[in-house]
Amino acid sequence: MTSLPELPVSHALPTIGTALGAQSRAVLSAPPGAGKTTLVPLYLLSQDWRGDGKIVLLEPRRLAARAAASRMASLLGETVGETVGYRMRLDTRISAKTRIEVVTEGVFARMILDDPELSGVSTVIFDEFHERSLDADFGLALALDVQSALRDDLRVLVMSATLDVARVAALLDQPPVIESMGRSYPIDIRYQDRPGGERIEDAMARAIVDAHTRESGSILAFLPGQAEIARTEERLDGRFGPQTLIAPLYGNLTQTEQDAAIRPAEPGMRKVVLATSIAETSITIDGVRIVIDSGLQRLPVFEASTGITRLETVRVSRASADQRAGRAGRTEPGIAIRLWHQGQTAALAAFTPPQILSSDLSGLVLDLAHWGVQDARSLSFVDQPPETTLSEARALLLQLGALGKDGALTARGKMMRDLALPPRLAAMVISAGETGHARDAAALAVLLTEQGLGGPSLDLEERMRRFRSERGDRAEGSRQLAARLAKGLDVAKAMEPGQTGRLLLHAFPDRIALQRGGRGRFLMTNGRGAELPETDRLAGSQMLVIADLTGRAARGRILAAAEVSRADIEEELPDAISTGDQTFFDRQNRQVRARRATRLGAIVFDETPLPRPTGEAVSRALAEGVRELGLEQLPFSKEAIQLRERMGFLHRSIGDPWPDLSDEALLSRLDEWFVPYQMDARGISDISPSGLSNGLMALIPHGLQRDLSRLAPTHFEAPTGQRHPIQYHGEEPTLTIRVQELFGLKHHPAIGDGRLPLLLELTSPAHRPIQTTRDLPGFWAGSWKDVRADMRGRYPKHPWPERPDDAMPTTRVKPRDT
């Protein structure tokens, strides 16, 4: 094999080869620019333990995969597709000679799901694992499962520039951890705090112009998204001469445009690359010695309750900030300019949150079912997926017909998984195939998963029309992918224009929307609101199917939709629209009403009022109203409020079986404590306070009710015989009492069978605080002397004995003759 260049990671290569030969697992931590992406796979080709097995290298993005394959092939003096090839969704270049396959993380997950033994594969390398994509986490979990059950000879190497080494090493059962410190050139980190209210593109443009004037070399600027890149590019227009090229770099660009951005500048030229976080890792932009970091990134956040993924602009992590700065010191001393105050760096999160904690998991659950796993905890994830999100994913797959009630994959589910599409879109293609329109549905599915195809319009009908005639390698590759997806399904005929919405009904039945509240405002079948600009053509539509939206649940912003009619719904989803009697909570009137309604989920097409309802259905509807309005609307008595506070204390201090009576817990159990005790109420104003108290008591297990007064009494009886209320609303139970009433008490007052001391707020005869204590005998023996000296002068008519623990308790002043 051609000798490899000397790079910072070179010294660690023999250690990596030996570790994988001995233990089959290893972790490599190396900084950006160390050469790990290209040198490690090439070095492992020469290892005896590899035999003739392939090395599979996972990269987080297509750009990185192409760049890595191209660089390795050039080091071997070959072209891509010979010893080194790549495989991704729209482009594959491999041959019978290929021994290193660079694949995107999603492609690897499908490889291992389709061939659990990974036939012909010797080693799997997870590059840039710190990015913690959902596909990378799932791919590693599957690889470890295969390694432990089917292929003990499979090698697994996890590589990263900024890695939480301890957690990953624990997941891999403490394999060898190899660190390569690298030889990064010095980086001068500078801070330029952005004034409050200034747009990031204004601050970035100013910083770029200033750096371009004062410093030499090309500039790499990190911005949160495509929109900010475009606005920054506008502000830089005409600011530089012909020797400076401005190049955007983000995921939606064509391969040609991306390659142009990362290509070295021509001699005598400078480049200003405006990039998203796509440029943080895996790729090298030669000639860059200045990095300007906005400190922002755009991350998807999935709301399981609504099925909506919204993009949030958030601060980068410290790891990402370090990654970005490191790009300035790859080949010579560099400068990193951060557009925030230096003091804010310490407050940044250590790492970017893993996608598995904030993503739609319906695809993961479908793949798990194909793998024969219903409990995700049986696989080794660095972070286990949230159960709430998993439950919502199972519910969606059940609705789409992909899973049976037993959680197993159905025949339809197997077809959906084979399509390599998100479950909603896979269901759409299969349903369209039943009526001969699979190719149109597949084209629409590709359009929705490949950003930028068909232009920026919100109207998917318009984007589909443009996509069909769009030129370029990416568009042609996408159309070919759609044809492959539709192969084997019924593609007997093409749909007439204007039918895109009919296709989408089978993917997004919960996002059918009716115009409600004016132009551009819609109510979806899932009960959530959605909006689009009043100037958009779709704003005047009566009904839409929404394929993509973002924003908060109450008022989502529509990103992609198509028109649909009620007749379309009745034909495509014949069982979706129903007519029936309904008892419901009218939020405007705060009353329960009854109606006969023709409806589609939360959308009501027609309704007729019915007589005032009675019975359990009313209290259940009222409970839904309470869920909407919140517990603060309920008329809890003082006794009920205190009961909740007492129970809250017992739940915090003892735990089970004492129930949680917090707002969140009570809202989740309204059917138990509210519904049975409010049978006569028909509105918020009719709710019975005594019924609320009785309902709360019913949550306490019957055997514990008699212990409540003993463990958390409402009052404390002082030595004087007076009863004083105990406050439970703070962190610990508190008794406020005049100090004279505790004379003669030699032990500290406590509740909970004497195990839980009260916090005493001791007051003067005028009820002003003089001392707080959790140790009354210690107070008598200690600071009482100083308190007594101070209080005797202020309240001479009251007793202040030297030995209060031996004195008589009192609520009165001293007799006149003392």
Q: DSSP assignment of 576-600, as one string?
A: T-EEEEEEEEETTTTEEEEEEEEEE
Averaged pLDDT for residues 599-614: 89
337 and 286: one domain?
Answer: yes
Q: Indicate the residue type of 332.
A: E
| Domain CATH for 304 | 3.40.50.300
133 and 210: one domain?
Answer: no
Mean pLDDT of the chain: 89
Averaged pLDDT for residues 163-187: 84
pLDDT at 11 > cutoff 80:
yes
340 and 425: one domain?
Answer: no
CA 465 to chain centre: 34
Residue 331 domain-assigned (yes or no): yes
Chain position carrying tokens 């319906």: 362
92 and 215: one domain?
Answer: no
Closest residue by Cα to residue 481 from 509, 505, 458, 447: 447
Q: What residues have CB less than 8 Å from 326, skipping those under 6 apart? A: 31, 32, 33, 161, 184, 187
Structure tokens at 789: 């000296």
Confidence grade of residue 661 (pLDDT, cut at 50, 70, 90): confident
Domain boundary (311, 333, 356) is at: 356
Lowest-confidence pick of 30-39, 211-220, 677-686, 771-780: 30-39
Residue 812 domain-assigned (yes or no): no
567 and 637: one domain?
Answer: no
Domain boundary (678, 712, 746) is at: 712
Peptide bond into 8 cis (omega under 30): no
From the number of C-beta atoms within 10 Å of its C-beta (0-12, 13-18, 19+), residue 650 rates as buried
426 and 349: one domain?
Answer: no
Geometric angle at alpha carbon 327, from 322 and 330, rounded to 5° = 120
Q: What's the rounded Cα separation, in Å, for the pair 565 and 18?
A: 65
Specify the pLDDT at position 182.
66
Q: What residues have CB less than 8 Å from 50, skipping those under 6 apart? A: 44, 122, 123
Task: Quote the number of domains for the chain.
Answer: 5
CB 102 within 8 A of CB 85: yes
Residue scoring higher pLDDT (451 or 127): 127
Specify the pLDDT at position 183.
63
Q: Write out the residue range of the structural domain in which residue 782 sits.
A: 715-806
Closest residue by Cα to residue 224 from 324, 304, 309: 324
Q: Coil, strand, or helix at residue 39?
A: helix
170 and 21: one domain?
Answer: yes
Closest residue by Cα to residue 112 from 141, 69, 148: 141
Rounded (10°) CA dihedral 734, 740, 744, 747: 20
pLDDT at 553 > cutoff 60:
no
Specify the pLDDT at position 305.
61
Residue range 466-525, pLDDT digits in tens: 999 898 888 898 999 999 998 888 777 777 778 899 999 999 998 999 999 889 999 999
423 and 563: one domain?
Answer: yes
Specify the pLDDT at position 94.
95
pLDDT at 447 > cutoff 90:
yes
741 and 788: one domain?
Answer: yes
CB 178 within 8 A of CB 6: no
Residue 385 domain-assigned (yes or no): no
pLDDT at 561 > cutoff 70:
yes
C-alpha pair distances (Å), 548 with each of 402, 460, 524, 526, 751: 21, 10, 13, 14, 56
Confidence grade of residue 815 (pLDDT, cut at 50, 70, 90): low
Q: What's the rounded Cα separation, in Å, for the pair 20 and 763?
A: 72
Q: What's the rounded Cα separation, in Å, for the pair 697 and 705?
A: 8
708 and 723: one domain?
Answer: no
Phi (first) and psi of residue 246, to 5 degrees? -100, 120
Residue 393 domain-assigned (yes or no): no
CB 681 within 8 A of CB 634: no
Residue ranges in 630-720 assigned as alpha helix (H): 638-653, 663-668, 670-673, 689-698, 702-711
pLDDT at 188 > cutoff 60:
yes
Residue 776 domain-assigned (yes or no): yes
Q: Indicate the residue type of 663.
A: D
Averaged pLDDT for residues 88-114: 92
Specify the pLDDT at position 184.
67
CB 124 within 8 A of CB 59: no
226 and 156: one domain?
Answer: no
pTM beyond 0.85, yes or no: no
- What does R_g of the chain's alpha carbons equal in angstroms? 34
Residue 411 domain-assigned (yes or no): no
Confidence grade of residue 816 (pLDDT, cut at 50, 70, 90): low
Averaged pLDDT for residues 437-453: 90
Q: How many CB atoms lie within 10 A of CB 434?
A: 11
Q: In what order do the strands lie in the sheet with 244-249?
A: 187-191, 334-338, 288-293, 218-222, 270-275, 244-249
Domain boundary (658, 689, 712) is at: 712
Residue 412 domain-assigned (yes or no): no
Residue 762 domain-assigned (yes or no): yes
Closest residue by Cα to residue 290 from 161, 189, 162: 189
589 and 555: one domain?
Answer: no
Q: What's the rounded Cα separation, in Å, for the pair 378 and 374?
A: 9
